Structures are given as C-alpha cells and as structure tokens.
C-alpha cells in the first residue's frame, strides 16, 4: 500500500510514517546529564537505573537515520534569570540555583545528544511545558507532524507537562520511560503508573527501535 521505500514506525498500537513523526528530546543538557551539573546528583540514580542517556542517544540516531524529525528542547535563562520571578514552585529553585544559564557549559547539550544540522532546536523555553513559551507547536505544525515521541528530563515535570499539552494539541503521543529521568525512581514510576497512560502511549526505546524497519513495498 505504501508508495515509497521509507522506513515506517510500528508499535503494537500504531504505524506511523517518519515524514510526520518527530522525536522530541527534552533538556539533555549538562546541568542534568553530566557530573558537575547542578542537578546531576538529583537525577543520577534514575539515569543509572534506566540507562537514560545511552537509550536516548540510540533512539535519536536511529530515528534520524529512519527519516524522522529530531527536535531538541533546551531550557535556558539569561544571566540574572529575569525571565522568571522566582516566587514559588520549581522555578524558584531554578532561579535561586542559577541553573541553566545561557551560554555556559551547564546549559550546553551533553556530548551524547548534540544536535545535528538536520535537527530542529526549539527556542524560548523558560517554563516547564515544552510548548508553553516556545516555538515547538509552531514548528510541529509547519512540518506537518502528527506523531510526537517524548523523552528527557524531568519525567514528572517538563516531560509530563509537554506530554499533557501534546495530547491536548491533538498529536499522537508516545513516551519512552527508559529515555527519561527524574529526581526519584519512585516519582518516575508513579508518573508512568498513574498518569502517562492517560495522555500518551507509554513504550520503550527497544519497542520504538524495533518498529523502525524498512517496509516491503
């Protein structure tokens, strides 16, 4: 039935054409991913347990090779963090800790997850949801994307907010538990157990990689 020889994405739930599928990688930045990052100690246990970085890298490269759109969603604040008031909640911690300051090593993508020239990099993220203060939805629409595969940091904060809005925006949303990390294994597992299935199809790096195959035409 397919008229070209591009690989397709198939899970037990769905078959998608790479032409309308985007893999969205949220905040694979040194502040989270690398020893020396201010939040590394908070997330290193879930990274270690799930193999977050290696799995995400494998998925990113495989999806790019298959012709999917690769999108990176970094968070960054200008020195002084004047974009946020720091009054309460998680953004207060971000401001107090001067985390993710633009143009520093801390805000850089980690070595394993550097954008390639064919990737898109979202701009404007100064909140939690990957859509709210950014051009993510705009670029997804301009590029006729229907399927969004999510991974990154923090599982129950930015990844979850992005998942919830992606579902609300009408995309077919997949979430990759073993490509995410949070501040506790219990929090990550609670998120996948209680909420991720309401707004996405939770799956794994292995299942997604298996689904990217060259179809018979």
Residues near a second copy (CB under 8 A) are 13, 78, 82-85, 87-90, 120-129, 132-135, 137-139, 141-144, 156-157, 160-161, 164-165, 167-170, 172-173, 184, 186-187, 190-191, 193-195, 197-201
Please say whether the dihedral angle defined by the alpha carbons of residues 208, 210, 213 and 217, taken in this order, is positive or negative: negative
For a second copy, the closer of residues 78 and 210 by Cβ is 78
Neighbours of 186 (CB within 10 A): 10
How near is the Cβ of 207 to a second copy at its closest, in Å? 16
Question: What b/e readout covers 41-52, taking b as 16+ CB neighbours within 10 angstroms?
Answer: ebbbebbeebeb
Q: Which tokens in the block code for residue 60?
A: 């990113």
Closest CA to 90 of 131, 19, 39: 39
Q: Considering the complex, state which of residue 56 and residue 75 has its C-beta at the smaller distance from a second copy.
A: 75
Q: State the alpha helices, DSSP H only, in 77-179.
A: 90-96, 136-142, 160-168
Nearer to a second copy, 54 or 109 (CB): 109
| Residue 175 phi, psi (nearest 5) | -125, 140
Shortest distance (Å) from residue 155 CB to a second copy: 9
Residue spans of alpha helices (H) in the chain: 30-33, 40-50, 52-65, 90-96, 136-142, 160-168, 185-191, 197-199, 205-211
CB–CB of 216/24 below 8 Å?
Answer: no
């Amino acid at each position: 039935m397919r008229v070209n020889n591009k690989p397709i994405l198939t899970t037990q739930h769905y078959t998608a054409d790479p032409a309308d599928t985007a893999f969205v990688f949220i905040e694979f930045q040194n502040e989270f991913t690398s020893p020396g990052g201010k939040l590394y100690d908070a997330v290193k246990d879930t990274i270690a347990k799930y193999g977050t970085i290696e799995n995400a890298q494998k998925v990113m490269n495989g999806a790019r090779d298959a012709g999917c759109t690769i999108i990176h969603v970094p968070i960054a604040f200008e020195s002084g963090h004047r974009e946020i008031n720091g009054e309460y909640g998680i953004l207060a911690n971000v401001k107090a800790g001067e985390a993710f300051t633009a143009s520093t090593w801390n805000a850089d993508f980690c070595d394993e997850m550097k954008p390639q020239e064919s990737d898109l990099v979202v701009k404007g993220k100064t909140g939690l949801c990957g859509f709210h203060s950014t051009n993510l939805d705009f670029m997804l629409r301009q590029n006729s994307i229907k399927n969004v595969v999510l991974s990154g940091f923090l599982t129950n904060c930015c990844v979850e907010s992005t998942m919830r809005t992606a579902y609300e925006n009408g995309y077919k949303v997949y979430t990759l538990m073993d490509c995410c990390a949070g501040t506790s294994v219990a929090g990550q597992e609670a998120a996948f157990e209680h909420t991720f299935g309401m707004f996405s199809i939770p799956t794994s790096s292995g299942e997604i990689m298996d689904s990217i195959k060259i179809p018979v035409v």
